[in-house]
A = this chain, B = another copy of it.
Amino acid sequence: MTRPTEIVETLKNRRQKLAQLISFPVILWSGKPSSRNFPHNTFPFRPSSHFLYFAGLPVEDAAIRLDSGKLELFMDDPNPESTLWHGVMPTRAQIAEAIGADAAFPKQDLASRATGAATIMVQDSATRAEQYMVRNMVRNSIQQSDDRYKEIDLELAQAIATVRLTHDQVALSQLMSAAACTMQAHLAGMMATPRAKTEAMVRAAMEGVLIANNMQCAYTSIVTVHGEVLHNQVYHHPLQPGDLLLVDLGAETASGWAADVTRTWPVSGKFSPTQRDIYDVVLAAHDACIAYARPGVEYQDIHLLACRVIAEGLVNLGILKGQPEDLVEMDAHALFFPHGIGHLLGLDVHDMEDLGDIAGYEAGRVRSDRFGLCFLRLHRPLRSGMLVTIEPGFYQVPAILNHPENRSKYQDMVNWDYLANFTDVRGIRIEDDVLITEGRPEILTAELPATPNIIEQIIQG
């Protein structure tokens, strides 16, 4: 098991960067598989992203101790009896070499090296129990840290967020692989649509591309003719000729790096005039936001730009009434665009969301309670090397549009009668993965068409 020198060097650089930000040792656990319906029938193993970032390999039930840039690996050699079931697995020494470890020990040695070490809690409970035990902590609750560790665990989370906020070349190469496979899947989905009878059949064509490329879904796919349900995760609806299909599906590479892409296309291969009108508004917001994205720009301003472009577009279409700026000020855009313009992307599809808003929000900032801003997942000035999604949308959510308070508050801002002409637009979203650079942003998913004419051509074959 040899790994290109570049990867080992990159891993060492990541550890050095972290070492410059903290003055205490760190232990990061990879985690164990979670059980599905019985202990041995597990979900596919997904290591902790923090472990993956600094260790690079998806090793089960391992831990690394980082101190001043040095790495100690803690894992057990594979059980000889497991060879029958799992074949010849790499040894501790082989893993240690592959990740550039400075030393390697059996797992039981971890406890003696753990006092005073900060950590990030993993997702699986068996490993979390181990994290408490190894650090000799009182286990008050499953989620909360002991007081003694609260401060350094928080400091570690902030330091890791700082390091992981921008991507190195090894990460970018993985992110581009995920993006390439995701684009291929979306094309396969468009091309499968004419033959597909249900959402599930389009999903199958798309996820098949991921599986064939040895990738997984970075998140539960959305493949729906009911795009107005934002996290729709059912796939049984039949495809009707007048439907728009909203597809939010992204690949994750074997070492954990994600893509996150949405396209919306007409089942028939032809947008209706009303669908195309709204689609063009969303696409205009999408293009404007990407053009505006550069280092130093506040991500919230990109969000607000999307809101203005959408408000302006809807005014031009006769759906909203008033000045776009005023409408945004009143959150009238959020009737149709109720979520944020996007989020960080990396090893997690919402990168580092396990740290709460530590990664997404600049120190000292907190979530707004405004209807039009509360769902914004990223509120920082952009920096070169950050990867973000840009994903404006338009939805007719009955729970929002029929809410008596909204009906009354926005009575004069919405042309409700005219809106009735657009019932064949339940949900549209266009989402790309955008790398912030010193020059123009680099769209990792640029080769997947978003313009309605080209999408129509692809579906029509």
A interface, CB within 8 angstroms of B:
34-44, 46, 48-49, 80, 83-88, 123-126, 128-129, 142, 198, 200-201, 203-205, 207-214, 219-220, 226, 228-233, 235-236, 256, 338, 347-350, 352-354, 397, 399-400
Question: Closest CB-CB distance, A233 to chain B, in whole Å?
Answer: 8
Copies of the polypeptide in the assembly: 2
A353 & B211 in contact (Cβ 8 Å cutoff): no
Given A126-B142, A142-B126, A204-B211: A38 in contact with B399 (beta carbons within 8 A) = no
Q: Once the chains are docked, how many angstroms separate the CA of A219 from the CA of B233?
A: 20
Q: Once the chains are docked, how many angstroms separate the CA of A28 from the CA of B201?
A: 34
Residue of B nearest to A220 (CB): B44
A354 & B84 in contact (Cβ 8 Å cutoff): no
From B41, B256, B397, give the contact of A349 (CB < 8 A).
B41
Given A84-B230, A232-B87: A37 in contact with B209 (beta carbons within 8 A) = no
Q: Once the chains are docked, how many angstroms separate the CA of A201 from the CA of B84?
A: 25
Using Cβ atoms and an 8 Å threshold, which residues of chain B touch A347? Answer: 37
A85 & B231 in contact (Cβ 8 Å cutoff): yes
A84 & B34 in contact (Cβ 8 Å cutoff): no
Given A209-B204, A212-B200: A87 in contact with B236 (beta carbons within 8 A) = no
Minimum-distance CB pairs A-B, first 5: A125-B125, A87-B229, A204-B212, A208-B208, A38-B354
Can you list 22 A-B contacts with CB-CB less than 8 angstroms, sorted by A residue number?
Answer: A34-B124, A37-B46, A37-B354, A38-B49, A83-B397, A84-B397, A84-B399, A84-B400, A85-B231, A86-B232, A87-B229, A198-B214, A200-B211, A200-B212, A200-B213, A200-B214, A201-B212, A203-B211, A205-B208, A207-B207, A211-B235, A214-B235
Q: Once the chains are docked, how many angstroms separate the CA of A112 from the CA of B125?
A: 27
Using Cβ atoms and an 8 Å threshold, which residues of chain B touch A350? Answer: 38, 40-41
Question: Closest CB-CB distance, A205 to chain B, in whole Å?
Answer: 7
Question: Closest CB-CB distance, A331 to chain B, in whole Å?
Answer: 14
From B85, B128, B200, B219, give the contact of A41 (CB < 8 A).
B219
Given A86-B229, A212-B201: A38 in contact with B123 (beta carbons within 8 A) = yes
B36 & A46 in contact (Cβ 8 Å cutoff): yes
Using Cβ atoms and an 8 Å threshold, which residues of chain B touch A125? Answer: 125, 128, 142
Of residues A86, A208, A235, which shows the largest number of chain B Cβ atoms within 10 Å of its Cβ?
Answer: A208
Q: Once the chains are docked, how many angstroms separate the CA of A151 from the CA of B205?
A: 50
Question: Closest CB-CB distance, A124 to chain B, in whole Å?
Answer: 8
Using Cβ atoms and an 8 Å threshold, which residues of chain B touch A128? Answer: 125
Using Cβ atoms and an 8 Å threshold, which residues of chain B touch A38? Answer: 49, 123, 348, 350, 352-354
Q: Once the chains are docked, how many angstroms separate the CA of A7 from the CA of B235?
A: 23
Q: Once the chains are docked, how many angstroms separate the CA of A375 from the CA of B36?
A: 22
B84 & A226 in contact (Cβ 8 Å cutoff): no
Residue of B nearest to A210 (CB): B204
A80 & B231 in contact (Cβ 8 Å cutoff): no
Of residues A49, A88, A204, A220, which shows the largest number of chain B Cβ atoms within 10 Å of its Cβ?
Answer: A204
Given A80-B399, A235-B214: A43 in contact with B36 (beta carbons within 8 A) = yes
Given A41-B348, A84-B338: A208 in contact with B214 (beta carbons within 8 A) = no
Question: Closest CB-CB distance, A349 to chain B, in whole Å?
Answer: 6
